[in-house]
């Protein structure tokens, strides 16, 4: 049974992903409730109801879920018990098993390799001895990552030689971790896709991602890769969503190896930063597809109206002065998104810009020019 406009949707988490979801949902006449431990949040500022409670407060989670027709999330690192508590009181989409797999790097990689999907070579390590053995098996350089929670390059340690192993083991807290072979990739791409309660699949094609310090910096849509690589990535994404039985949106991030092989780096079971351009560039955005998926409505068209590029605005841009919004607004084909975060810290995602143009090179040049114009004082210019 579809959940119709006028109904309330619950969002666990309260960041920018929930904010853009809430904007899409309110546009279609839904009400939005959000729950997180924070107040005056990016999602809460545009939601109908902002509940302020820790994710561990299962009574609050149940009460929250009882007040809505369906619960979804914008933050996958909520405890499994939170998703389970919500599921006792309302449908949760995607279901808790999707969270369980994707919020833990080791479980995610094990699922992918058991499913026969291409994933970066990895080993589970639970002691320094195991780490030394794994490093010999995989070869160096390699990257040691915490097995559990981690995003945007957090909880990672690059190992260049054997001498780095003890420090790396300390850096991940001397607890269960994943050693990953270092991939000397050609580029990084991702596919944001959605799957309905009936198993229908839609996708936004392969897009190209450039990272800086482990954080997404630029997305170029479509990716500048061959059609063969683009369609292979989409087929892998289709398999991931089917095998994980996802109802909702999921992003698959890939490395494109020098020989053209694709390796999955990571999954995110929700709209993703690399799909933000769809808000301006596609007939239906990733956020609206999430809404349609969780409400069991038919999907909208994913048609992209023009080549696009997205640039993140991190807290570093605030530097000493408020960025020059007027200057950036003077680039007419660039759309400004700000998330309403109360304080700008280095590395914090504060907003993004999306440029639409006749080709991707132009979109990329425009979005970079607009971002550079935000900086008032060239003396204290952060690296852009």
Residue 156: CB minimum distance to ligand AMP, A: 6
182/299 with CB nearer ligand AMP = 182
Q: Say what angle helices 286-294 and 16-27 make with each other, to 10 degrees.
A: 70
Half-sphere exposure of 18 (CA within 13 A, CB side): 32
The reply on whether position 267 binds ligand AMP by CB under 6 A is: no
Binding segment toward ligand AMP, per CB under 6 A, in 150-158, 231-239, 289-297, 360-368? 150-158
Q: Are strands 122-125 and 142-146 parallel, antiparallel or unpaired?
A: unpaired
Q: How far apart are CA 164 and CA 214, in angstroms?
A: 20
Report which DSSP code applies to 48.
Answer: S
Check binding of 182 to ligand AMP (CB under 6 A): yes
List 266, 280, 288, 316, residue binding ligand AMP (CB under 6 A): 266
Nearer to ligand AMP, 251 or 295 (CB): 251
Q: Is 120 a binder of ligand AMP (CB under 6 A)?
A: yes
Binding mask 196-215 for ligand AMP (x = CB under 6 A): ---------------x--x-
Q: By CB under 6 A, is residue 188 in contact with ligand AMP?
A: yes
Which part of the chain contacts ligand AMP (CB under 6 A), choosing from 4-12, 123-131, 181-189, 311-319? Answer: 181-189
Residue 274 as a binder of ligand AMP (CB under 6 A): the answer is no
Read off φ and ψ for residue 187, nearest 5 degrees.
-160, 170
Q: Which is nearer to ligand AMP, 180 or 366 (CB)?
A: 180
Taking alpha carbons only, the member of 315, 319, 316, 322 closest to residue 339 is 315
Burial (CB count within 10 angstroms: exposed 0-12, middle 13-18, buried 19+), residue 374: buried
Per CB under 6 A, 314 contacts ligand AMP: no
Stretch that binds ligand AMP, among 20-28, 178-186, 307-315, 335-343 (CB under 6 A): 178-186
Nearer to ligand AMP, 41 or 312 (CB): 312
> Which residue stretches of the chain are H helix?
16-27, 58-66, 80-87, 96-102, 105-114, 128-138, 165-171, 227-243, 278-281, 286-294, 325-329, 360-373
By CB under 6 A, name the one of 118, 148, 153, 222 that touches ligand AMP.
153
Position closest to ligand AMP via CB: 183
Q: Cβ 345 to ligand AMP, closest distance in Å? A: 18
Distance CA 192, CA 274 (A): 8
Backbone angles phi, psi at 152, to 5 degrees: 50, 45
Whether the CB-CB separation of 162 and 132 falls below 8 Å is answered with yes
Using CB under 6 A as the criterion, which residues of the chain lie in contact with ligand AMP when the complex forms? 120, 143, 151-153, 180, 182-183, 188, 211, 214, 265-266
């Amino acid at each position: 049974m579809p959940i119709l406009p006028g109904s309330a949707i619950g969002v666990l988490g309260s960041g920018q992903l929930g904010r853009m979801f809430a904007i899409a949902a309110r546009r279609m006449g839904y009400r939005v409730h959000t729950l997180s431990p924070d107040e005056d949040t990016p999602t809460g500022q545009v939601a109908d109801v902002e509940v302020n409670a820790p994710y561990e407060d299962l009574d609050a989670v149940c009460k929250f879920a009882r007040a809505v027709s369906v619960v979804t999330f914008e933050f996958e690192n909520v405890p499994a018990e939170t998703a389970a508590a919500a599921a006792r009181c309302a449908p949760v989409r995607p279901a808790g098993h999707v969270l369980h797999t994707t919020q833990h790097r080791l479980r995610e990689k094990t699922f992918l390799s058991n499913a026969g999907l291409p994933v970066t070579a990895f080993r589970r390590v639970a002691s320094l001895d195991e780490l030394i053995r794994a490093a010999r098996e995989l070869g160096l350089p390699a990257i040691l990552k915490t097995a559990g929670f981690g995003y945007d390059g957090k909880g990672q340690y690059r190992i260049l030689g054997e001498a780095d192993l003890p420090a790396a083991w300390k850096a991940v807290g001397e607890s269960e971790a994943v050693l990953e072979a270092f991939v000397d990739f050609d580029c990084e791409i991702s596919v944001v896709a959605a799957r309905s309660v009936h198993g229908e699949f839609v996708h936004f094609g392969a897009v190209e991602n450039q990272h800086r310090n482990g954080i997404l910096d630029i997305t170029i849509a479509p990716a500048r890769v061959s059609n063969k690589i683009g369609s292979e990535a989409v087929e892998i994404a289709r398999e991931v969503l089917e095998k994980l039985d996802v109802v909702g949106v999921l992003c698959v991030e890939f490395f494109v190896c020098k020989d053209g092989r694709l390796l999955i780096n990571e999954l995110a079971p929700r709209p993703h930063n690399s799909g933000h351009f769809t808000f301006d560039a596609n007939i239906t955005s990733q956020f609206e597809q999430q809404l349609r998926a969780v409400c069991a409505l038919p999907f909208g068209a994913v048609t992209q109206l023009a080549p696009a590029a997205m640039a993140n605005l991190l807290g570093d841009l605030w530097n000493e002065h408020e960025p020059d919004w007027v200057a950036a607004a003077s680039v007419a084909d660039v759309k400004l998104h700000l998330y309403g975060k109360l304080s700008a810290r280095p590395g914090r995602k504060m907003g993004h810009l999306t440029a639409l143009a006749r080709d991707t090179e132009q979109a990329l040049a425009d979005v970079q020019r607009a971002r550079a114009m935000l900086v008032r004082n060239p003396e204290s210019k952060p690296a852009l």
